[in-house]
Structure 1
Amino acid sequence: MDWFTAPDYWTSRLVFQRALAGVYLMAFLTAALQFRALLGERGMLPIPRFVARTPFRRAPSLFQLHYSDRFFAGCAWAGCAVSAALLAGLDSRLPLGAAMALWLVPWVLYLSIVNVGQTWYGFGWESLLLEVGFLAVFLGNDEVAPPFLALFLLRWILFRVEFGAGLIKMRGDECWRKLTCLDHHHETQPMPGPLSWFFHHLPRPLHRVEVAASHVTQLVVPFLLFAPQPIAAAAASLMIVTQLWLVLSGNFSWLNWITIVLALSALPFPTDTRPTPDAPLWYEVVVLAVAALLVTLSYHPVRNMVSRRQIMNRSFDPLHLVNTYGAFGSVSRIRYEVVVEGTADDVPREDSDWREYEFKGKPGDPRHWPRQFAPYHLRLDWMMWFAALSPAYAGSWFGALVERLLENDRATLKLLRRSPFPPDAPPRYVRARLFRYRYTSWRELRETGACWERTYVREYLPPTRLTGEVQRS
């Protein structure tokens, strides 16, 4: 079928596949290095406890069939290995069917992780990676030209990511309509990056321009993805530019990077003149069937997207095949942070020797400048941001975190930047306090060298020890 292939997109597919393999590699690396403290047998939200109460049909996963920390580690590192092989181009050296099977492996492995990841894997980019990863299985390799339907569906995903994010903003916080959200967002975002302080101090008129440009890119430009070339390529390029701006302004895991990967698939390379071999009939049938399935499953996401009660980041099927997206429908005006401290004193008093635990990414010591971590995802640091917004977000795991700190649990301490206690001398008590953080001014930065100024608000968790029940305030 002449209409089945898009011969101008050979290079586009190659770039897309290698970039997606890189995102997969980062996702599996994050899982391999963090799972023991978060989800392991002694983790804060243990997988065995979750699968014992959750039927397979609701959360299909290899770990429903068997779980051990060693098995999870094997799956995560296997995902890293397969992703690295795809990044190196192994799929191009295999027969078409074998290449498709190879692309299916990381999807199955990551689906298995996400479906048992609970709170730690409740972010929209997890479903986005799975949706994009599933479609990548059917893009083919060097034996066939890229199928037009698969490329079209990649644009359909990109459209929903951008347009859904734009709609949730216009329907949400009024600061988006007033063009004032970025007066606060660079300061209150979940995990600032090394340039976020400077973005915050940009002139306010430029913040208005940022918001207006975001509205245009998310509410108007997505429709141009379905226009003829070169209009579609110009629309995708504009999205790439705006996503790179977001990469510079904060740490948003791999959300921006996978959006860029999607946009790359819409950029043709007309000078690519390699021959167009006929696709096998079985391959055409499989692609057509998958396309029909994904179009059918798009009903609920589209219905949600056009609804006045639009919700963000939700999957409508347990395989995360077609999802709904959106972010920052509301923007905090004030930044709060939970500061966790411990003491070795036998009796906890206000004047005891309280020592602060330092996290890798979230603000702590006002003099510590934020670092760049994205696309790597610091899951505990992100959830600490939610915990500061409301204790309700921390109800399932914060008590377990405190217990692990009281035990000097090695896996948990690896998630932190620094523990103030030696490995053989855990604290007697741990407490948590809520602080208000704000960026310093240019003058304050010069005088103190601190990028943050913080003010005590209230007690978040009273001094707690292992012999008592760990409760949150």
Structure 2
Amino acid sequence: MSNIKYTKDFFLWCMSVIYLFAFSSLYVQIPGLYGDNGLLPARNALKMEANSWQELLEGQPSLLKLTPKLGLDMQTAMDLLCLGGILISFFCMVSQRARDVVSFTLLWMLYLSLYQVGQTFLWFQWDILLLEVGFLTLLIAPFNFNLLQRTRVPTHHQHDTINMWLVKWLLFRLMFASGVVKLTSRCPTWWGLTALTHHFESQCIPTPLAWYWHQFPTWFLKMSCVLTYVLEIPIPFLFFIPIRSLKIFAFYSQVVLQVLIILTGNYNFFNLLTIVLCVSLLDDGFFKSKSATKKSLPWSGVKTVAEIITPLVVLGYIGYQTVKYFNLQLNPDFSIKSSIAFTEPEFTKFLQFVLPITILMGIATLGYEIVIAIIRSCMEEEGVLRKSVSVIQCLIFGSLAVSMFAISLVPYTVIHKPFQKRLSPIFTQYHAKTRSFHLTSSYGLFRRMTGIGGRPEVVIEGSNHKDAGWKEYEFLYKPGSVKRKLPVLAPHQPRLDWQMWFAALGNYQNNPWFLNLVYRLLNNEKDVLDLIERNPFPDKPPKFIRAILYHYHFTSSDPKSNRYSTTNWWIRKKKAEYLPILSKDEETLKQYVQQSNLVMKSKKMPSSMLGSAIQWLRHQIGQPEGFKFVMSVFASGMAVNMLNHYLF
């Protein structure tokens, strides 16, 4: 039997938790984001009703196409899908027998359905990554239909190692591409190793620790940048090396990187999901200190020596190349001088050389996993029938893995377009056919550093007079008041606050939802105001609204700095007008609102008992703060898990 039985179940438990975070975080935001009076009403995003399987799957495959048949409006239907996702993921979290292919298929379908109408508030890399990992989870989850039996663990199969390889390949693509794009983007801060001197204050929603990390000397932040390159470009190759100690080292190195990101930035469930991917690097020996006793083989001593020497050689080589290519020099004051010692053409040449090698590495290691799984089926399974079934399963899942690997090459090779053009048209065709299901996607984190001259931030103000009395709207989490303490809110993602960050990087013309926000504020729309912490006009909406662009900087801990402060987290400076003064009577705003179909003339009553029940539940839950709601649901699941452990 494969040696990842416990690893596999831990992976499935982790995926249950990630889904729980994702669905519960989205649920509290649906009315303000997607309701009939929200910022981007979902009724405008999906108008097609499905009368057949073909109509359900074509275009935007979504279960929401079935909502008219259930007598539900779009907002209530989204509530239903979110509640279903919370309930299923909760049961998967607390019950091992519930973690089967049926549960994870439902979770993937529910999230895909919501994603299709999510528009700009749900089109992030972590949402796409969750869909891809979620689909791979369908292949990993067991066909566990014996829910009524009191079995301690679900069935495990020889082909599990093949399916977990796909998770490992996804982890490699995610990390390797994230390192490469920092250099192919030609961003001067990444090439100058100064990206992290800007990152902590310019990221979307910094944590308190980000302020402290920003105070480190420049040489330390440059070395942190070097370490980021090392962890994202050479270390991922260790994922596939057949030496357990190096895989464990790669696991810990990636986990440490993700934990540091979690501590210094509020990236919702993204980094937690990346850590879940790292579970694919582990085996049961990691979870069980007392593994099965193995017979001593004649070459075991040689193998032990090789397992000690090889990691030292490999890590020593990586260290040597790091010193060489980043010009690392120790100064007399024990600071470290660093600079990139290669040119852009040299890196392009390196990428041309190494990209085909990564694909060959994928082919070789996948082929190895398939062959080994078949051999184990023949040697470890008992009886001719079980051996035959196991071999057939390995062939089936091996074929699926090869297909997934093939179509993943299309988004993976985006990091080097000339090579992508050399791929067989068959790969491109099959990838295009599956694109709407997001089975595989391209990734590239922190491609370019923003906020180099100061963190751009949009501040919305309202007033009853054009010339005076302007008051700021305070958002739940994004920077506003310079005295406001930085929040800790992951794994919750406040999607409006995130989009406000993107809006500040451009203009309102390229962010049409921003005008929707202004229109809702001019009407004191409750569902939208629930996404904002402080409404300065609680009794009556303001007559006018405007938006100002500021540049924010962290204050300094150095008393000699002109940014020094003992009370403020930020300093800010007004840069420009972001949105001119608007009122409800502005003709251009009226025309825009009509064209965008934002006005809901009358609130429709639910036409079914199901709809009434969902709305009643929404009323009972109210509008909780997102982070508290997410963590409350998670804490409830952990409490049930502990009771299961101690009582059963």
TM-score by length of 1: 0.90
CA contact 1:233–1:268 (8 Å) conserved in 2: no
Deviates more, 1:67-76 or 1:211-220: 67-76
Q: Work out whether residues 171 and 308 of structure 1, in 8 Å CA contact, stay in contact via their aligned partners in 2.
A: no
Deviation at 1:65, TM superposition (A): 3.5
Aligned to 1:379: 495
In our comparison, the structure showing a higher alpha carbon Rg is: 2
Distance in 2, matches of 1:225 and 1:416, equals 43
Kindly provide the CA deviation profile for residues 153-205 of structure 1, in whole angstroms up to 9, marking residues without a partner as x.
Answer: 11001001100101110112122122111111111112111211111111111
Which residue pairs with 2:196 in the alignment? Answer: 182
Q: How does 1:35-184 map to 2 (within 5 A)?
A: 35-52=30-47, 57-66=58-67, 67-89=73-95, 92-93=96-97, 99-141=100-142, 142-145=154-157, 147-172=160-185, 173-184=187-198
Query: Is the Cα contact below 8 Å between 2:556 and 2:563 reproduced in 1?
Result: yes
- The alpha carbon displacement at 1:269 in A equals 2.5
Whether the aligned pair in 2 keeps the contact of 1:144 and 1:276 (CA below 8 Å) is no
Structure 1 letter corresponding to 2:527: A
For the structure 1 residues 53 and 355, does the alpha-carbon distance in structure 2 shift closer, same or farther, using more than 3 Å as the test? farther
CA distance in 2 between partners of 1:266 and 1:393 (Å): 45
Higher helix fraction (1 or 2): 2
Which letter maps to 1:348? K
Residues 278-322 of structure 1: per-residue CA shift (max 9 Å, x gap): 695575465334313312211312321333799xxxx96111111
> What percentage of residue pairs aligned between the two structures are identical?
32
Contact 2:508–2:579 (CA under 8 A) maintained in structure 1: no
Please give the per-residue CA displacement for 1:426-451, whole angstroms capped at 9, x wherever unaligned: 22211111111111112378745011
> For residues 407 and 100 of structure 1, do their structure 2 counterparts lie closer, same or farther at Cα, with a shift above 3 Å needed?
same
Query: Does the 8 Å CA contact 2:555/2:564 hold for their aligned counterparts?
Result: no
**Could you tell me which residue of structure 2 aligns to residue 257 of structure 1?**
272
Measured against aligned partners, the alpha-carbon deviations of 1:347-374 in whole angstroms (never above 9, x if no partner) come to: 311xx22111111221000000110111
What is the SS of the residue equivalent to 2:568? coil
Tell me the secondary structure at the aligned position of residue 208 of structure 1: helix
The equivalent residue for 2:335 is none
CA distance in 2, matches of 1:276, 1:82: 33
Q: 1:216 aligns with which of 226, 230, 233?
A: 230
Residue deviations 1:257-295 (CA, integer Å, cap 9, x gap): 111111022112324758989695575465334313312
Q: For the structure 1 residues 393 and 83, does the alpha-carbon distance in structure 2 shift closer, same or farther, using more than 3 Å as the test? A: farther
Q: CA offsets per residue over residues 32-78 of structure 1, 9 Å max, x none?
A: 11122212222222222122389863321112333521111011011
* Letter of the structure 1 residue corresponding to residue 230 of structure 2: V
Structure 1 unaligned spans of 5+: none
Which residue does 2:353 correspond to in 1?
none
Aligned match of 1:231 = 246
Name 1:440's counterpart in structure 2: 555
Give the secondary structure class of the aligned counterpart of 1:323: coil
Residue identity matched to 2:206: P
SS at match of 2:135: helix
Q: 1:339 aligns with which of 451, 459, 475?
A: 459
| Structure-2 separation of matches of 1:405 and 1:263 | 43
**Residues of 2 paired with 1:309 and 1:299: CA distance?**
10
Report the Cα distance in structure 2 between the residues aligned to 1:205 and 1:183, rounded to whole angstroms: 10
Indicate the SS of the match to 1:151. Answer: helix
Residue matched to 1:419: 535
Q: CA deviation at 1:9?
A: 1.5
> What is the 5 A alignment of 1:279-298?
281=390, 284=394, 286-298=396-408
Partners of 2:155 and 2:504 in 1: CA distance? 52
| Contact 2:556 2:565 survives alignment (8 Å) | no
Tell whether the 8 Å contact from 2:165 to 2:280 is kept in structure 1 after alignment. no
5+ residue gaps, structure 2, are: 50-54, 68-72, 143-153, 293-379, 421-430, 593-648
Give the 3-state SS of the residue equivalent to 2:575 in structure 1. Answer: strand
Aligned residues: 453
Q: Which secondary structure state, in structure 1, belongs to the residue aligned with residue 45 of structure 2?
A: helix
Q: Assess if the C-alpha contact under 8 Å between 1:165 and 1:325 holds in 2.
A: yes
Partner secondary structure for residue 140 of structure 2: coil
Residues 386, 394 of structure 1: 8 Å contact kept? no
Q: Distance in 2 between matches of 1:284 and 1:87?
A: 28
- Computed over aligned residues only, the root mean square deviation of the Cα atoms, in angstroms, reads 2.5
Corresponding letter in the other structure for 2:580: P
1:19 alignment counterpart: 14
Does 1 or 2 have the higher relative contact order (CA < 8 Å, sep 6+)? 2
Deviation, structure 1 residue 145: 3.9
